Structure 1
Amino acid sequence: MKMLIVYTHPNHQSLSYAFLQEVIRGSGENTAVEEVRVLDLYEEGFNPLLVFNETKRRRDMHKDPELARYRDQLLWADKIVFVYPIWWGRPPAMLMGYIDQMFSSGFAYKETGKMLPEGLLKGKSVVCISSMKGPALYPLFWLNNAHKTLMRRALFSYVGIKQVRFFEFGGMESPRGRHQEKLNKVYQYFKKAN
């Protein structure tokens, strides 16, 4: 299994970075994992801004040469792991900008004239690891599970990815947040994931 980790947090002293390290550590002990690549969007200086003008059109985004390397990473990966915080009930704008550009028509899906398009990323699996300040049940009861619905239905299902796993941790700024227990849960999952 080839694994791409898309890490989205500007601080390498953050809890998100600690989760990234546990993904790498667990995967390194997993005989099913052939290779792991990490894309750190902030360190990379990824430009999340969409630009459309006379020379750059939305319908051509799937062949934008500036994004070719990122498309190749997604095609290469069997499992895509997203590690990010939840800010204002959703992933950071940096990650949303990556999604807007990478999961484009002609690359991640194609229109068929039917109600739903044909997903072109079939056979891949996704794991989303997110943490937030609010309580763990806040997204479910207050936001109607908007984050998971956005990621699972509006994005991954749309592009053909059916196998999606979430680790959504709340209360992470509390001293009673059981950080080590949650870090270990992620480590154990990736140590055995296939």
Structure 2
Amino acid sequence: MNSYIIFMHPSKDSFNGSILNELVKSLKELNHTVRVKNLYAEAFDSQLSWQEYKESQDGLYRDDNLAEQEMISWADRLFFVFPVWWGGFPAIGKGYIDRVFSFGFAYELEGESPIPLLNNKKASLIFTTGAPEEEFVESQMYEHMVTLIDKSTLQFCGLKLDGVVHFGDVIQKSDEERQEMLKSIEGFCSSLI
């Protein structure tokens, strides 16, 4: 299985970076071919310009977008690894979606009806919050955020959401507690179909 990880944290030395390392290790142990896009480390240009938007309407894509679209086409499964900032992806992650999941690649339109083009692919979300898990769930932020990402991005483009992992209160947790969180990544990967 080909797995492509889109990593959306500015530091690989962060807890999100530890999640990335554990995810790569666990997937490789399950014989996945794994590739990673580290948006910050690679200084991904997350700004969709008006010119680029107009070009994409005519099926013209910039080289960096074509490279990403090739990676997504190659992948059977996408993993989005990110800290929740202001209720969703960090800005660089949202910009990645804006630019890469473009018209003619990720979807088309028939009149006003979307036609998804990334069918038969799965996507998983692995994210962290400073808020405790219980608080994030009770406030309904978890449900709202996951549903919004799923319906407005994944389903819109034909991707099937298959697995969500949320690690809460990561700033306040002890190193031992964080290590326990990381151990659950292996089980999560094993449970994916």
TM-score of the superposed pair, with normalisation by structure 1: 0.89
Structure 1 residue 128, shift from structure 2 partner: 0.8
Cα deviation code 1:120-178 (max 9, x no counterpart): 00000011100010111334332542210221111101111123311011111113582
Contact 2:107–2:115 under 8 Å retained in 1: yes
Question: Quick one: structure 1 residues 101 and 61, their matched pair in 2 at CA, closer, same or farther if it must change by over 3 Å?
Answer: farther
Q: 1:40 matched to which residue of 2?
A: 38
Q: 2:20 matched to which residue of 1?
A: 20
Contact 1:16–1:85 under 8 Å retained in 2: yes
Q: In the alignment, residue 179 of structure 2 is paired with which amino acid?
A: Q
What percentage of aligned pairs have identical amino acids?
28
Structure 1 residue 105, shift from structure 2 partner: 1.4
Q: In the alignment, residue 7 of structure 1 is paired with which amino acid?
A: F
Q: 1:129 matched to which residue of 2?
A: 126
Within 5 Å, give how 1:49-128 maps onto structure 2: 49-53=47-51, 57=54, 59-60=56-57, 62-66=59-63, 67-113=65-111, 116-128=113-125
Structure 1 residue 109, shift from structure 2 partner: 0.8
RMSD: 2.0
Q: 1:152 matched to which residue of 2?
A: 150
Indicate the structure whose relative CO is greater, using CA pairs within 8 Å and at least 6 residues apart.
1
Aligned residues: 190
Q: 1:183 matched to which residue of 2?
A: 182
TM-score of the superposed pair, with normalisation by structure 2: 0.89
Matched, 1:169 2:185: no
Considering fraction of residues, name the structure with more helix. Answer: 2
Structure 1 unpaired stretches of 5+? none
Q: Distance in 2 between matches of 1:63 and 1:185?
A: 42
Q: Distance in 1 between matches of 2:55 and 2:134?
A: 37
Q: Distance in 1 between matches of 2:188 and 2:153?
A: 23
Question: Quick one: structure 1 residues 191 and 100, their matched pair in 2 at CA, closer, same or farther if it must change by over 3 Å?
Answer: same
Cα deviation code 1:50-82 (max 9, x no counterpart): 1114x7616437531331101101100001011
Name the SS of the counterpart of 2:88 in structure 1: coil
Q: Distance in 1 between matches of 2:118 and 2:134?
A: 31
Q: Distance in 1 between matches of 2:59 and 2:131?
A: 37
Structure 1 residue 13, shift from structure 2 partner: 1.2
Q: Distance in 1 between matches of 2:105 and 2:98?
A: 12
